[in-house]
A and B are shown apart, each in its own frame.
Chain A
């Protein structure tokens, strides 16, 4: 099966048209003709779609019929189809590493308009690969075992669903959540569109299931501090913040909260977005999981000064759940894969001063409005103005901060539906006039359009135009004491002033403020906006560039609950596939030291970030542990006597490429 080194070269060269993608810019036939003239090439073809089954079959047949011992394919990026063609080469009976790919789509046809120059470039890149492949040697892949445990970061609906899916499949899951309870944004919602079913009714059972599941280790109030290792074998350090309450001893009776020396709740309650107050010791929200209180060290008198009567301790009595001595802990766990589901943040509308948020108390965000109409909210579900009265006219300003070059360019996908949901609930419960100011109504997906129709049928008014300003300066008696929305109604073709009691800003989603930090810890990439980057927007939407790390939910980009859950399921399935495969084939790009060449100068030993290089004090030579080597090649470039090689990236192979790309003028 292997090619012997002394066999004369028989290279097969293929250039792919990729329909018009490549052939529209690069003269594929000319590239094939040119390649045929190069040393070692015995067969040169251009073909419409190399990655198609017939394309792959062509390679397999040619290897057999023409006795090829090297294959070069000029098509798209190797990051996309290298594996496809290696598999085809292997199916033809050749070692899959006697293959080289040339990127003439992403790096050529798609980025250039000058056809002659693009064709020349394709020839140069082809020449480089043909020279390079001549140096290739057969290589064997190694298989790394996969630790079956999985870490899920983030306990919103995506993280919860991913954790449950994995746990139900019998895998051990660590679910790490930064807040004192899981639930995420969904726990704050009253109802969910487009079915208007109660969010708590569908979320709470899942939250309880997480708590009860024997395969899930739930760590709330915890953060991932450090990740080391690689796919199949990650060592993760988790920081467990001090809750000052022993979770397993607390029964959630909240007698301590009652007994707290603060008689009245005084501090803004995060769950109700600051619309209500809580005490220093509190339950995050009624359905919180775990059902355990938490003490805010910034507010608790005992923790701040050590001089409190500690009435909470008395209330807790012999349960002894409250523990002022609790310290932050660092815990290390071993997992084989990770799912990142760290969610999103809401756009802060203070960045749009013309909408008056923060200045007018009756300008709210959608989430604040959500809490006001929620029966578990601060008003028990009664929509109330700042003054305590019920509003008679409510307006929704869509795309507040979204689809705007000055703030966030993207569409957050959920705000239209979210606003129409709130509008319908308000119509239903209060009978108030509701007006939606929109640029475009985006109600895609199953039941979306019907949902929009329903809002129309309920008498929700739609005004097309981006709101220019929200003010409280009346120009007529009718505007007295109202908030006035100034908007260009682009359907009526006029500027309108619409007096309202309450204005709700439909703020979009943004990456979490610490997304960059998380990205670094997890070794992922971010899009320019700060969303975590999937490996491929279509073909690998939950994978990342780091093997064994998957993403789910809104940390990857704005999406609604059904999409988040679907993605979480997909991420769990990817992790399961990895675990059940039992191992992962590793690219054989490891470095190696030729013992007879090594002088034992030790220059390389400390350069390796993986401690893969060891110095043998008896032989006085260095050697590389292939199992630890990740193939970066830093030591190869730094070895002063050229005694370190790297499979797939040998000096000679790169030199051939350099010469090759410069050979064709």
Chain B
């Protein structure tokens, strides 16, 4: 019997998700024994044509990591969607937008002018910017189009399952691949991780007091951290209570607060809103000036509460910036 065909692809991502596959270590041998990897441009020499030539749904599953920012990523996502029975959003960027989606706080124009013109390290007197088409000595060079906003994978194509994490842990990947091979898949749309918040598996859980009242918020690089005490009890914004478990509390284990890469539980529509609600509810202050003083301890609320989830959040995009920039462009 022919082995199931599997594909891997990356979009707007850092490469960490690819690394995570390699992190399966010797277990990857079992995977490769059980499946045929027919598309994995990062690791092996595949061309787009190798996929285009396949009949629809020829691949059993494709794992796409990274958010969608360019026309090329979009095109590949659509292509792989058509060729795969199961499309799996692999990692925080594909699932929720991830770090790249923090760009949604700014307009496309603001980003391009900073990166190619205004940043102090840039020397670009001709104000050259990448263009979709460039004529150079009679040859036409093309680049993918840089879209207005960063999107999650499911904002572009239908997604069957989600593997959360930045990156997903080997344990989750194995469990997902195992379920896939055994045909024991949960209903479509499921996030393949526990649906309970991280605290459940955090080694510091027992040290969290029941009557926590915040009088100040601290940032991890500015204070010495106790290696055992609950990080919230130390005044740090630990996203653990609002974030799915499944990673084994790797960050708190390494003395850093959870930053929320596994996204919300299925019961929550907006991870940032929920964490913000929980934290502020437990603050001590009752007067606006006092409240504001404490909140100033979280100087970048979007970057704190939506570090991985902005594209998938209820607000998604700073539409005012986007609209203003598009008017300027006109």
Task: Please state if B278 and A600 are interface contacts (CB–CB under 8 Å).
Answer: no
Question: Which of B198, B264, B281, B282 has the most A CB atoms < 10 Å from its CB?
Answer: B281
The answer to the question of A620 belonging to the interface, with a C-beta cut-off of 8 Å to chain B, is yes
Knowing A600-B205, A637-B277, A640-B278 are in contact, say whether A606-B212 is a contact too (CB < 8 A).
yes
Contact of A599 among B200, B277, B281, B282 (CB under 8 A): B200
Determine whether B211 belongs to the interface, using a CB cutoff of 8 Å to chain A. yes
Q: Which of B95-122 contact A (CB under 8 A)?
A: none
Contact residues in A for B200 (Cβ distance below 8 Å): 599-600, 620
B197 / chain A contacts, CB cutoff of 8 Å: 599, 601, 640-641, 643
The answer, among A605, A620, A634, A642, for a CB contact under 8 Å with B264, is A642
Given contacts A634-B281, A642-B264, A642-B268, contact A599 B198 (CB under 8 A): yes
Among B195, B196, B209, B264, which residue has the most Cβ atoms of chain A within 10 A? B196
Near A by CB (< 8 A), chain B positions 60-116 give none
Q: Is B166's beta carbon under 8 Å from chain A?
A: no
Indicate whether A328 reaches chain B with its CB closer than 8 angstroms.
no
How many chain B residues touch the partner (CB < 8 A)?
28
Please indicate the chain A residues that have their CB under 8 angstroms from the CB of B208 in the complex: 601-602
B282, A643: Cβ atoms closer than 8 Å: no
Given contacts A615-B210, A640-B278, contact A601 B241 (CB under 8 A): yes
Question: Which among A596, A600, A602, A607 is the interface contact of B281 at CB below 8 angstroms?
Answer: A607
Main secondary structure of the interface of A (DSSP, over half): loop
Are B281 and A638 within 8 A (Cβ)?
yes
CA A641 – CA B195 in complex, angstroms? 9
Interface residue tally for chain A (C-beta within 8 Å) = 23
Q: Does B218 contact A (CB under 8 A)?
A: no
Which residues of B224-242 have CB atoms within 8 Å of chain A's CB atoms? Answer: 240-242
Asked whether, in the complex, the Cβ of B199 is within 8 Å of the Cβ of A642, the reply is: no
Max chain B C-beta neighbours (<10 A), residue from A599, A615, A643: A599
**A615-B206 Cα distance, complex, nearest whole Å:** 11
B contact residues around A598 at 8 Å (CB): 196
Q: For residue A135, give the distance in angstroms from its CB to the closest CB of chain B.
A: 14
**A597 within 8 A of partner (CB):** yes
Chain A residue at smallest Cβ distance from B211: A606
Q: Is A603 an interface residue (CB 8 A)?
A: yes
| Closest Cβ–Cβ distance, residue A643 to chain B (whole Å) | 6
Find residues 203-223 in chain A having any chain B CB closer than 8 Å to their own CB. Answer: none
Q: Judge whether B274 is part of the interface by a CB distance below 8 angstroms.
A: yes
Asked if B196 contacts A605 (CB within 8 A), the reply is no
Give min CB distance, A613 to chain B, whole Å: 9
Contact B281 A601 (CB under 8 A): no
CB contacts (< 8 Å) of B209 on chain A: these are: 602
User: Cβ of A639 < 8 Å from any Cβ of B?
Assistant: yes
Cα–Cα distance between A571 and B266 once the two chains are bound (Å)? 50
Q: Is the CB of A600 within 8 A of B267?
A: no
The B-contacting residues of A in range 586-627, CB under 8 angstroms, are: 596-603, 605-607, 615, 620
Q: Give the residue of B195, B210, B240, B267 whose beta carbon is less than 8 angstroms from that of A605.
A: B210
* B5 interface hit (Cβ, 8 Å): no
In the complex, which residues of chain B have a beta carbon less than 8 angstroms from the beta carbon of A615? 210
Q: Does B311 contact A (CB under 8 A)?
A: no
Least CB distance from B271 to A in Å reads 8
The residue of chain B having its C-beta at the shortest distance from the C-beta of A639 within the complex is B278
Residue of A nearest to B240 (CB): A601
Which residue of A is nearest B198, CB measured?
A599
A-B contact pairs, 30 of them (CB 8 A): A597-B195, A597-B196, A597-B267, A598-B196, A599-B198, A599-B245, A600-B200, A601-B197, A601-B199, A601-B205, A601-B208, A601-B240, A601-B241, A602-B199, A603-B241, A605-B211, A606-B210, A606-B212, A606-B213, A607-B281, A615-B210, A620-B200, A620-B205, A634-B281, A640-B197, A640-B268, A640-B277, A642-B268, A643-B197, A655-B269
Please give me the 9 A-B residue pairs with the lowest Cβ-Cβ distance, nearest first: A642-B267, A599-B197, A640-B242, A601-B241, A641-B197, A601-B199, A640-B241, A640-B278, A638-B281
Known A601-B205, A605-B211, A606-B212; 19 more pairs at CB < 8 Å: A597-B196, A597-B267, A599-B197, A599-B245, A600-B200, A601-B199, A601-B208, A602-B210, A603-B278, A606-B211, A606-B213, A638-B278, A639-B274, A640-B268, A641-B241, A641-B242, A641-B267, A642-B274, A643-B265
